[in-house]
Amino acid sequence: MTNEELLQEAKEARLHAYTPYSHFQVGAALLTKEGRIYHGCNIENAAYGPTNCAERTAFFKAVYAGEREFDKIAIVGAPEGEEPVGMCAPCGVCRQVMMEFCHPDTFRIVLSGENGEAAEFTLREMLPYGFGPANLGK
Ligand code: THU
């Protein structure tokens, strides 16, 4: 699956966003090493704090389904009613969740670049010196 195809999956996931407070809609498409895709959207909450980001929705759905081996994740975000063209980088909490399940040098984060082309980063680039299971000897 190309980065462009995975970004398209993330765009479709974004249509499910529940965002009555920020009106900023995010979609994510998480690809497993075996080629399955898990979609996620942001789900907001009146108490704000319990809001779940699109990336974590995708990860938690996948982990619940028994997945443990991940290849890459595409993320798109933009205000409601706008096309997600610019780069929407994952928040720190989502990077930490990726660190739990993904190797920082092989797992890739795909974003739509400012020029409309896909931009790709490793998890290590996005979360240098991250703390993960290896730090606990796991
Ligand atoms: N959001 C995500 O879904 N993913 C991110 O990585 C950044 C932020 C959501 C959370 C909230 O619903 C909205 O974007 C505005 O912060």
Pocket lining: 121 vs ligand 1, CB cutoff 6 Å: no
pLDDT digits over 66-91, tens only? 999 999 999 999 999 999 998 999 99
Give the distance (Å) from ligand 1 centre to CA of residue 46.
14
Pocket lining: 9 vs ligand 1, CB cutoff 6 Å: no
| Atom of ligand 1 minimally distant from the CA of 89 | 6
Half-sphere CA count of 6, side-chain side, radius 13 A: 25
Position 79 scores a pLDDT of: 98
Surface-to-core class of residue 133, CB atoms within 10 Å of its CB (0-12 exposed, 13-18 middle, 19+ buried): exposed
| Atom of ligand 1 minimally distant from the CA of 22 | 15
CA end-to-end distance (rounded Å), the chain: 30
pLDDT digits over 91-119, tens only? 999 999 999 999 999 999 999 987 778 99
Q: CA Rg, the chain, in Å?
A: 14
In the 8-state DSSP scheme, what is residue 55? H
